[in-house]
Structure 1
Amino acid sequence: MSEDESKYEYWLPNASNIKICKEAQVNSVVIIGPNGSGKSKLGAWIEQQDFEKVHRISAQRDINFSERVPLKSFAEAEDNVFYGGSQYKEKKQVRWGWGGSYTTKLLDDFDDVLAALIAQVNLENQRFIDECKHAESISVERPPLPKTALDKLKVIWDEVFPQRKIEQEDAAFYAYSKSKTDRYSATQMSDGERSVLYLAAQVLCVPNDKIIIMDEPEVHLHPSLMARLWTSLEQSRPDCLFIYITHDVNFASTHRSSDIIWVKNFDGTKWELEMLPDSDLPKELLIELLGNRKEVLFVEGTEGSYDKRIYSALFPDCYVVPSGGCEQVINNVKAYNRTSSLHAIKAQGIIDRDFKTEEQLNALKEKGIFHLKVAEVENLFLTKEAVQILSQRFGADADKTFSSIKTYVSERFSKQAKKQTSEALVAGVKEVLSGITISDNEQLTADGIVSLINIASIEKNVNDRYQQAIEDHDYNEILGLFNDKSLATSVGHYFGIDNKIYVDRAISLLEGDLRDELSEALRHYISH
């Protein structure tokens, strides 16, 4: 920690591998990047800049230990944990295989870690006894009971495993339920429990004001435990800075206030690093996308929606990200493209046509946001090409099936014309309202706002367009205007199948046997 108690100092290599000092506002930093990007070697590089200041816990760690811990003095146990032995303090040679395996040597120091914890507790208890004796000798009040390292360990354990307890007795550790009826040796604990014991003991034994580098904090731990464990450990050691090295997006995203460093590239000698900037994208999503090597395509819908499945099948070379509604797609494309310093991949988007005008759609296209030529993504399976291809697969007459569906859709559109035009009018007015800007010294009244919106003109354009589509029997235009998600799930019977399964069956074929044929047909209905 620096002289300014709210800041923590650490360092990174620049493009020439020269040590550059950084300051963190909180006591955690996350280094993240894909597998093979040199993250672990970066952790070793940081440690090698100051062996005395840094304690690194390798991703290669043995979580087995002796049932009865071999006891040592605190000084000896601490040196074993921190240096690998008191005679190797200068460069931690023995701890990392004499320097030949900084990132691959298996750490098998669990016994030493537990011995250091026990020795530290004994030292703290002895110090308390000495203070009490001194207080008694000069007739003053005894000092309050201290919180020992073991007390802190139990607090951390309770945070992570509230249904189980841990205790130390003589030179052994035990776990048990609240009733104590099932006490068992800590050596018989699960991998997750032993990992928590190991990591907590490591952190509690580290000398004051150190940098703790934690390589792959997720190893042996269930995701539900990680956030609780590391939050508790960071709180228990506010004097230390934790540097996490991980490829786990979820773990990184829990550290919202931390510096997050993206490892862009490593050529075997030098790293290309970028500090993750503030972005309108959720941090978890931005980190996830940075680990991706495909072009990014933001679409509407959710993870389980038709949108994700359809666009993933249509654009297999893209990383498809469902983003909810139309506006969020637009915002995500803009936000991701503003982070171009982190990647060389440009994002694009596809939105439903909804009630947007041609002018609005063309303006979005210039920003890399394209639209369906049908109103809803499900309407793709009502197009002539899709109906004819799917008719053949379902054993139906292609021309007859399309003719029946065209008649049905057109008649249903005519019956709902008033509702559809009303919704389009509302959408048009909203679009105009969203584009109104107000200067600092301007105050708009209700009348002033109304004067800026030519509702009559919007209404005329909407009515003319919808009426023209009906009069011309323009099926493609009708599909482009007809906003009704239930439409595609009401035509299955024309193919001789259940209405409810038509869209799912069509998507399955798009993902499988008919991928090439259907993809070629459906891509024509996406603006480009």
Structure 2
Amino acid sequence: MNKLVLPRISGTREMPVMPEASQLTVIGGSGVGKTKFIEELIRLNSDRAYCISVLSAPFPEREESTRPGSIDVLYREAAERRSYMRRDAVSELDKLSYLIFTDEFEYLLSLKQNSRKGVPVKLAPTRLDRLVMLWERVFPSNRIIRTEGTLMFSTASGSDLISLGKLSKGEQTVLYYAAAVLYAMPGAVIFVDSPSLFIHPSLLGNLWNAIEELRPDCTFVYDSVDVGFVNSRTSNVSIWVKSYDVEMRSWDYEVILPGDLNEDMFVDLVGTRKPVLFIEGDARHSIDSKLYPLVFADWTVKPLGSCDKVIETTRTFNDLKNMHHLKSKGIVDRDRRTDNEVDYLRRKSVMVPEVAEVENLFLLEGVVKAMARRRGRNPEKVFGRVSAAVMDEFRRRFDEQALQHVRHRVKREVECRIDARFPCITAMELHIGNMVSMLRPREKYNEVRASFQKLIDERDYNGILKVFNHKPILGDCGVAHMLGYKTKDEYVAGVIGALKEDGVIAEAIRESIRYCFRVDEPVPEKKRHVQDHKPEPPRQNKNHAKPTSARNPKSHNNKKRRKNVN
């Protein structure tokens, strides 16, 4: 493998040389000059450039290539040298078939001649042998048969031999790429357009591994937007093309070496114009991945699994701002983090909600009331019962929750203190022995209990949601049954469904959740009433005191005005 000369970088006269690499993928969004970049890359390395594309391989209606070493030129030169070679091939696929069969014929003929001369005959793998081996490796039930001066194929779908033209599109693609690579010049830079086209995803990685093994002397340059394919290239170097200066014939681009950034993430994101939001959980099962794309609709949301991965990736992505123009943030659950820990994360572009975990977002006052209106329930009554149930459950788990919070704080402090440098083992033992007095766990426990008791005494519902780490609370509080759902999962699905409808209810839910992240300022009272559905009137009991509007004319007039606005 030789080094590659790369196109000119915008704003400079520099034409960098890329270190040796066996795999290179050119990535970028639509309209940024990626195709022009590849054309320039081919021009700069024209003495070794070998271009293959299955988009045109089976079709005769195309302009033949005049590039030295191309399939068209190889076939034309071979036909001129061999009077017996068929000259009616038009498509690249047919030309490769004729070339490979003719080469096989000539090789066997040379062996026969050498045998007659008494020269020891030693069989070596031919191009056809290597093609057959790869074909049967990819399609274990299929065979390539040499018969009557041409190649025929047996497949698992039938017993009759079929011709090249009757193979499926996927089979033709595999045959074309494998055969074409065998005819690349030594040390070639093989440019492959759309390498995953027509190929089943289950075959993709192993197929290209096998094809690359055919030519370890070559560099493979792929033009692909298939994230799965790029991830399958284990030694892949990516070139991210961001923009093209037509007048200067130069590009703004970056070379991304393996390990610099997770390619699954990067290839998935660089084509987007939206800011990027990294979240916890997985893309299929977590509540986070279902909720946040609907709440933060102007962001590209990327689930990463653990909170540590979110924090680290957000930091890395922002550290690489010289490589992209995307704004990026992260979201992690608050869990039992202290205010200082939360402030630190927010300074690092990691958003932390004012609730303990994602499940608590579904218990926010604005969310519960919006869903009550959607289900035809009385918002105040439903929320009153939900908040009472949450507070009762928090009161019941009071000591357990306090202990868990203290455990988190002590664990953090131990990690910091035990990391100190010690001159000897005795000093370390002394330090550990004094740890309890330094950490003061009981004092912390009493402080946490006092703060929790204050939340209960003041009936601070939002404050309880902020510290209450108990995932079953969404089911235990009964919000689902109060709103006519059978299970808490149905309730979660109901909230997601409301957000997808994107009406006034969705806006009320979205507003509540975004405000919980300190993303938006609170909506003014008048605007909030305009957005809301008219709540069901509460049932009046004649023993109750008269409504406020009856006692306060000014309040009555205000309500009348709001009604007219609605």
Is the pair's TM-score, using the shorter chain for normalization, greater than 0.5?
A: yes
Does the 8 Å CA contact 2:32/2:243 hold for their aligned counterparts? yes
Tell me: CA distance 1:228–1:80, structure 2 relative to 1, closer, same or farther (3 Å).
Answer: closer
Give the AA of the match of 1:251.
F
Does the 8 Å CA contact 2:54/2:173 hold for their aligned counterparts? no
1:491 paired residue among 479, 485, 495? 479
- Structure 1, gaps ≥5 residues long: 2-7, 66-76, 88-106
Please tell me whether residue 153 in structure 1 is matched to residue 131 in structure 2: yes
**SS of aligned partner of 1:31:** strand
Give the AA of the match of 2:271.
G
How far apart, CA to CA, are the structure 2 residues paired with 1:319 and 1:126?
62
Does the 8 Å CA contact 2:292/2:301 hold for their aligned counterparts? yes
**SS of aligned partner of 1:298:** strand
Which residue in 2 is equivalent to 1:300?
280
2:17 paired residue among 15, 21, 41? 21
So what's the TM-score if we normalise by structure 1? 0.85
How far apart, CA to CA, are the structure 2 residues paired with 1:361 and 1:249?
34
Does the 8 Å CA contact 1:280/1:335 hold for their aligned counterparts? no
| Deviation for aligned residue 1:43 | 2.5
Q: Aligned ranges for residues 99-110 of structure 1 at < 5 Å? A: 108-110=91-93
Tell me: CA distance 1:158–1:359, structure 2 relative to 1, closer, same or farther (3 Å).
Answer: same
Which residue in 2 is equivalent to 1:61?
56
Give the AA of the match of 2:500.
E
1:465-496 deviations in Å (ceiling 9; x for gaps)? 22322232211111111112222234211223
How far apart, CA to CA, are the structure 2 residues paired with 1:280 and 1:330?
16
1:230-252 deviations in Å (ceiling 9; x for gaps)? 11111111122211111222211
How far apart, CA to CA, are the structure 2 residues paired with 1:163 and 1:380?
54
The number of residue pairs the alignment matches comes to 487
2:218 paired residue among 215, 231, 240? 240
Which residue in 2 is equivalent to 1:520?
511
How far apart, CA to CA, are the structure 2 residues paired with 1:480 and 1:232?
54
Which residue in 2 is equivalent to 1:482?
468
How far apart, CA to CA, are the structure 2 residues paired with 1:113 and 1:40?
26
How far apart, CA to CA, are the structure 1 residues paired with 2:274 and 2:442?
46
Give the AA of the match of 1:491.
V
2:252 paired residue among 272, 286, 289? 272
Does the 8 Å CA contact 2:51/2:70 hold for their aligned counterparts? no
| Deviation for aligned residue 1:12 | 0.9
Give the AA of the match of 2:232.
T
Which residue in 1 is equivalent to 2:411?
430
| Deviation for aligned residue 1:18 | 6.4
How far apart, CA to CA, are the structure 2 residues paired with 1:194 and 1:484?
56
Give the AA of the match of 2:266.
L
1:327 paired residue among 308, 332, 343? 308
Tell me: CA distance 1:113–1:476, structure 2 relative to 1, closer, same or farther (3 Å).
Answer: same
Q: CA RMSD in A?
A: 2.8
How far apart, CA to CA, are the structure 2 residues paired with 1:423 and 1:20?
55
| Deviation for aligned residue 1:44 | 2.4
| Deviation for aligned residue 1:438 | 4.4
1:164-200 deviations in Å (ceiling 9; x for gaps)? 2223323332222479834322321110000111111
Q: Aligned ranges for residues 342-381 of structure 1 at < 5 Å? A: 342-381=323-362
Instruction: Name the stretch that deviates more: 39-48 or 431-440.
Output: 431-440
Give the AA of the match of 2:462.
N
Tell me: CA distance 1:341–1:168, structure 2 relative to 1, closer, same or farther (3 Å).
Answer: farther
Tell me: CA distance 1:352–1:180, structure 2 relative to 1, closer, same or farther (3 Å).
Answer: closer
Tell me: CA distance 1:171–1:390, structure 2 relative to 1, closer, same or farther (3 Å).
Answer: same
How far apart, CA to CA, are the structure 1 residues paired with 2:109 and 2:36?
41
Does the 8 Å CA contact 2:57/2:176 hold for their aligned counterparts? no
1:273-295 deviations in Å (ceiling 9; x for gaps)? 21114557422112212222111
Tell me: CA distance 1:404–1:150, structure 2 relative to 1, closer, same or farther (3 Å).
Answer: same
2:208 paired residue among 226, 230, 233? 230
| Deviation for aligned residue 1:417 | 1.6
Which residue in 2 is equivalent to 1:507?
496
**SS of aligned partner of 1:24:** coil
Tell me: CA distance 1:496–1:177, structure 2 relative to 1, closer, same or farther (3 Å).
Answer: closer
**SS of aligned partner of 2:451:** helix
How far apart, CA to CA, are the structure 1 residues paired with 2:121 and 2:361?
77
1:283 paired residue among 249, 253, 263? 263
Does the 8 Å CA contact 1:120/1:205 hold for their aligned counterparts? no
2:140 paired residue among 158, 162, 172? 162
How far apart, CA to CA, are the structure 1 residues paired with 2:423 and 2:269?
41
Task: Work out which of the two has the higher radius of gyration on C-alpha atoms and give 1 or 2.
Answer: 2
Please tell me whether residue 458 in structure 1 is matched to residue 452 in structure 2: no
Give the AA of the match of 1:271.
W
Does the 8 Å CA contact 1:9/1:22 hold for their aligned counterparts? yes
Tell me: CA distance 1:331–1:388, structure 2 relative to 1, closer, same or farther (3 Å).
Answer: same
How far apart, CA to CA, are the structure 2 residues paired with 1:323 and 1:231?
27
| Deviation for aligned residue 1:413 | 1.0
1:343-370 deviations in Å (ceiling 9; x for gaps)? 0113111211111111111111111112
- Structure 2, gaps ≥5 residues long: 61-67, 79-89, 520-566
Does the 8 Å CA contact 1:176/1:184 hold for their aligned counterparts? yes
